[in-house]
Structure 1
Amino acid sequence: MAAAPVVKSLAEITPHYIGENRTVRLAVLSGPADGSSTTVVLEIWEPGGSQPDNSHEESTETFVVLQGTARAHSDEHVADLVAGNVIVLPATSVHHIVNSSPTERLYTITVMENDGGFADLILTGPEAFLDDADAAVLGAVLTGV
């Protein structure tokens, strides 16, 4: 018998912080716990928020910008991003993304090929929250409004 699909409501998703960084919330949408070697994450950056430099030896990381503006740094390369952009960061690159808005949140869907422990890193971090502003963005994304 084939495995059943996994269906979740966004109401069931709990975002987390990684380490001491409290400027980016990450919510695992799917990953190894769901039987996938690829992890899909909703990431929410506070205004001016950023990730620390990070790298993934065997994982390509793709970001789909849903709302907001960002500056992506990957090795010596810099790219400015807006809603509707997709950026693919190659495995082994040293990279980070900064929300370039001083007033608006940045929302992305992030796809990490070959998870490499990424979902576990997120899920073991301190719990965060989704607020009404997040729900409004996610509702608009989900309904196409």
Structure 2
Amino acid sequence: MTGAAPIIRKLTDIPGYLISPEDTVRLAELAGPSHGTSTSVFLEIWEPGGAQPLNSHEDSAEIFIVLAGEAEAHSDDDAVNLVAGDVLILAPGSEHRIINTSATDRLYTITIMANDGGFAKLVTDGITAPLTTQDLGYLVRSLAPEADAATDATVAA
């Protein structure tokens, strides 16, 4: 037994961040080193046409679970297309970037880094960029805007 109490966080209390002012990808740290784990978990949101800069994590595999949207992922010399429901696994040390290929819709992923290596601190030292109810609705349906819920009810009928 570690004696550590469980940590509960409310999605509505978790801020989003931009690593730098010109970024087109917001990140919200759902779990990470400040919560007692070397694994970090993020909600990542790419604006339409948005992309990360080419980046690499020498000691960490990175896993992206695509919740919504379409993208093109580049890893070293390879490129693959992504859609909602895909799981992308990048090897430690790969040079990679993901580009939202939609001109109108955001791309949403849950991103898991097995060994954070300081990435969560890089994110949370960035610029606060609030999450919207639409953003949170991709994680928890009850947090989705009422208009989306009404559309869902119409589709289900």
* TM-score of the aligned structures, taking structure 1 as reference length: 0.93
Q: Percent identity?
A: 52
1:37-69 deviation line (CA, Å, top 9, x unaligned): 000000000000000000011110000000111
SS in structure 2 opposite 1:63? strand
SS in structure 1 opposite 2:72? strand
Contact 1:15 1:127 in 2 (8 A): yes
1:87-141 deviation line (CA, Å, top 9, x unaligned): 0111111000001111000000000111000000000000001113213323239
- What's the counterpart of residue 106 of structure 1? 107
How does 1:41-56 map onto structure 2 within 5 Å? 41-56=42-57
> Structure 1 unaligned runs (5+)?
none
Question: Hey, which bits of structure 1, 4+ residues long, moved more than 2 A?
Answer: 135-143
Single out whichever of 126-135 and 75-84 deviates more from structure 2: 126-135
> Structure 2 unaligned runs (5+)?
145-151, 153-157
Amino acid at match of 2:27: L
Question: 2:22, 2:109 → 1: CA distance?
Answer: 17
Considering only aligned residues, what root-mean-square deviation do their CA atoms show, in Å? 1.8
SS in structure 2 opposite 1:122? helix
Single out whichever of 17-26 and 133-142 deviates more from structure 2: 133-142
- What's the counterpart of residue 7 of structure 2? 6
Specify the structure having the higher radius of gyration (Cα): 2
* TM-score of the aligned structures, taking structure 2 as reference length: 0.86
Count of residue pairs the alignment pairs up = 144
How does 1:1-145 map onto structure 2 within 5 Å? 2-140=3-141
